[in-house]
């Protein structure tokens, strides 16, 4: 025997050979799960991540009106004065291009979430922006020199950027891009008024120009009547004179905003910072609390009702148990809407249960019970709908508890109750854990049943999420609410793991 490392049959050290074999094994295992993993990443994790990202993403303002965002940066929003004319002019330029690209109303709807009236303000201004008095500039400049009418002039002067004329060069670049997007030729398209507006501004600001055409235009500037963009906008709608409008744009100019999350917590982001929403608009914290509370109540009702059923299923002779199991599964296969509507028929004031109670004389006709369109209705209907999710895990765990345990306990002198409570129940806890997690997580995200039977007091946070996704189209707020809900579930799951231990959860065998 030598003292060297142990060698494998092919002469390599055994350790390395083993590691290689192990690596190959792991690789093979990974490749086997790879299709599913990739599938889940692409169809499940990525869309969710994308949706959650929308809760902070706010590029729309900066992308749609970049010049305005830039110009408002130096404006002191607390001064109670309107932004300078340069900001108005920048906004005019942005609006012309946004209107052409049909982006301005989208921005209007976005800002309308923060300040009422922005939606129509943007739509109205977009409709009018093509008819501003800036055509006076176009007429005046082409009157000075007909070369200004020629797209080639603009291309020659500004296509490569002109440091003395920054605004015009910038506007021309965007104009060119817009023309190309429309599949038109920038060398054939008549220059728009917005270009002349930029030209006028650059010429009034600068002094030395390298091109004779520009110098001549500068010399003729005195004869041109300036057009106030501010007046033009105010003429469209007086709201442009309201500093709050500009404050809102400035506040939401950043690419990422905490606004949606603040909104989810009944707060709001204004020019002055974070403040509470007015009392008559606070709703989300109340809904979150209600959702958690009612989901817990539903989970406990499911345990109470499901435990005896599961016990029966596990302990009856197979024939009877199978019939019972079908009875448990039958509603499971019935449409959710049918089951929810059935509860309406049963629980409403003119419904079956009230009719029977009145008929039997237990209550009189005027005192019919209100059991639906409130929290009671939601709890009853959802407990029924989620019950199979509690019974099935409980049943499969109880099935594995040997009956001999109970017999042993009893033969050692335990009463029925002690045998159940000290022996049987602890063995069934993993089933309760699995069932509770299933029911609770399903309940917290439910929205169809609460919407139909919840009335005003039984609706969940998911109803608001659904509303913001499909009706108000405020996807940012929906994403923020969803993120909070997801975080709440994860925290509860973590707490459950700490207290009970997730290893104690069994879905079966």
Partner 1 sequence: MKLTTTILATGALAISASASFADGHMADELTLVSWGGAYQKSQQRAYSEPYAAETGVSFTWDESSAEAVAKLRAMNEAGNITWDVVDVVAADAIRLCDEGLALEIDHDEQLAAAPDGTPASEDFGELIVSDCFIPQIVYSTAFGYRTDLLDSAPTSVCAIFDQETYPGKRSLEKRPIANLEWALICDGVDISEVYDVLETEEGQARAFAKLDTIKDDTIWWSAGAETPQLLADGEVTIGSTYNGRLFSVIEEQNQPVGILWDWQMFDLDGWIIPAGLPEDRLARALDFVSYATDTQRLADQAKYISYGPARASSAPLVGKHADLGIDMAPHMPTDPANAVNTFLFNYEWWADYRDDLDAKFQAWLAQ
x-or-dash pattern for partner 1, window 383-422, by CB under 8 A?
Answer: ----------------------------------------
What is the rounded distance in angstroms from the CA atom of residue 219 to the CA atom of residue 213?
10
Please state, in angstroms and rounded to a whole number, the distance separating the CA atoms of residues 333 and 6. Answer: 62
Minimal distance, residue 279 CB to partner 1, in Å: 8
Q: Which of 56, 198, 245, 287 binds partner 1 (CB under 8 A)?
A: 287
Least separation, in Å, of the C-beta of 376 and partner 1? 14
> Per CB under 8 A, does 335 bind partner 1?
no
Residues 353-382 that bind partner 1 (CB under 8 A): 373
Q: Which of residues 82-121 bind partner 1 (CB under 8 A)?
A: 101-103, 105-106, 108-109, 112-113, 116-120
Q: At what angle do helices 461-470 and 284-315 cross, to 10 degrees?
A: 120
> CA 185, CA 189: separation in Å to the nearest integer?
6
CA proximity to 343, closest of 432, 458, 502, 220: 458
- For 93-104, b/e burial (b = at least 16 CB within 10 A) is bbbbbbbbeebb
Q: Is 54 one of the binding residues for partner 1 (CB under 8 A)?
A: no
Which range in 209-217, 280-288, 390-398, 431-439 contacts partner 1 by CB under 8 A?
A: 280-288
Please give the DSSP secondary-structure letter assigned to residue 131. Answer: G
59 near partner 1, judged by CB under 8 A: no
Task: Identify the CA nearest to 111 among candidates 207, 220, 208, 245.
Answer: 245
CA-closest candidate to residue 236, choices 137, 97, 85, 95:
95
Closer to partner 1 by Cβ: residue 67 or 110: 110
Q: Does 243 bind partner 1 (CB under 8 A)?
A: no
Q: Which CB atom, from 368 or from 506, has the smaller least distance to partner 1?
A: 368
CB closer to partner 1, 2 vs 280: 280
Instruction: Enumerate residues 441-500 that contact partner 1 by CB under 8 A.
Output: 451-452, 455-457, 459, 464, 469-474
* Site for partner 1 contains 348 (CB under 8 A): yes
**Least Cβ distance, residue 125 to partner 1 (angstroms):** 13
Q: Contacts with partner 1: how many residues (CB under 8 A)?
A: 41
* CB-count burial class (<10 Å; 0-12, 13-18, 19+) for 461: buried
Long-range contacts of 302-305 (CB under 8 A, 24+ apart): 302/383, 302/386, 302/387, 302/389, 302/390, 302/435, 302/436, 302/439, 303/390, 303/432, 303/435, 303/436, 305/383, 305/387, 305/390
Which residues contact partner 1 (rule: CB under 8 A)? Answer: 101-103, 105-106, 108-109, 112-113, 116-120, 123, 280-283, 286-287, 344-345, 348-351, 373, 451-452, 455-457, 459, 464, 469-474
């Amino acid at each position: 025997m030598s003292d060297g490392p142990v060698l494998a049959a092919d002469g390599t050290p055994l350790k390395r050979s083993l590691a290689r074999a192990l690596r190959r094994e792991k690789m093979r295992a990974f490749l086997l799960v790879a299709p599913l993993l990739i599938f889940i990443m692409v169809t499940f994790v990525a869309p969710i991540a994308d949706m959650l990202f929308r809760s902070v993403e706010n590029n729309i303002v900066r992308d749609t009106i970049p010049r305005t965002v830039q110009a408002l940066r130096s404006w002191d929003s607390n001064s109670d004065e309107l932004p300078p004319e340069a900001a108005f002019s920048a906004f005019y330029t942005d609006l012309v291009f946004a209107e052409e690209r049909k982006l301005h109303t989208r921005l209007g709807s976005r800002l309308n979430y923060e300040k009422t009236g922005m939606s129509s303000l943007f739509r109205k201004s977009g409709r009018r922006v093509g008819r501003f008095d800036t055509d006076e500039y176009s007429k005046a400049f082409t009157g000075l020199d007909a070369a200004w009418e020629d797209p080639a002039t603009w291309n020659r002067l500004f296509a490569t950027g002109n440091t003395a004329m920054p605004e015009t060069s910038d506007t021309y670049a965007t104009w060119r891009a817009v023309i190309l997007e429309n599949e038109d030729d920038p060398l054939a398209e008549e220059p728009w008024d917005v270009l002349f507006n930029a030209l006028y501004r650059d010429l009034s600001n600068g002094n030395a120009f390298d091109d004779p055409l520009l110098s001549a235009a500068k010399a003729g500037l005195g004869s041109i009547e300036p057009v106030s963009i501010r007046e033009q906008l105010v003429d469209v709608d007086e709201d442009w004179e309201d500093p709050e409008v500009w404050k809102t744009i400035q506040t939401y100019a950043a690419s990422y905003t905490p606004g949606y999350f603040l909104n989810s917590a009944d707060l709001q982001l204004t020019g002055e910072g974070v403040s509470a929403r007015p009392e008559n608009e606070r709703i989300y914290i109340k809904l979150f609390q209600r959702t958690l509370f009612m989901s817990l109540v539903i989970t406990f009702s499911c345990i109470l009702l499901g435990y005896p059923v599961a016990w029966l299923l596990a302990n009856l002779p197979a024939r009877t148990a199978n019939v019972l199991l079908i009875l448990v599964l039958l509603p499971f296969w019935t449409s959710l809407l049918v089951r929810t509507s059935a509860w309406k028929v049963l629980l409403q004031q003119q419904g079956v249960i009230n009719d029977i109670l009145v008929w039997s004389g237990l209550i009189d006709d005027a005192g019919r019970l209100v059991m639906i369109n409130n929290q009671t209705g939601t709890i009853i209907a959802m407990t029924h709908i989620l019950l199979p999710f509690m019974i099935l895990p409980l049943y499969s765990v109880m099935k594995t508890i040997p009956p001999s345990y109970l017999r042993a306990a009893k033969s050692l002198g335990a009463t029925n109750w002690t045998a159940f409570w000290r022996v049987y129940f602890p063995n069934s806890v993993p089933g309760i854990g699995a069932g509770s997690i299933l029911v609770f997580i399903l309940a917290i995200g439910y929205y169809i049943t609460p919407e139909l039977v919840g009335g005003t007091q039984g609706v969940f946070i998911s109803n608001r999420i659904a509303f913001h996704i499909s009706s108000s189209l405020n996807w940012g707020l929906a994403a923020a609410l969803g993120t909070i809900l997801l975080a709440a579930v994860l925290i509860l799951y973590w707490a459950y793991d700490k207290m009970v231990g997730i290893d104690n959860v069994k879905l079966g065998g």
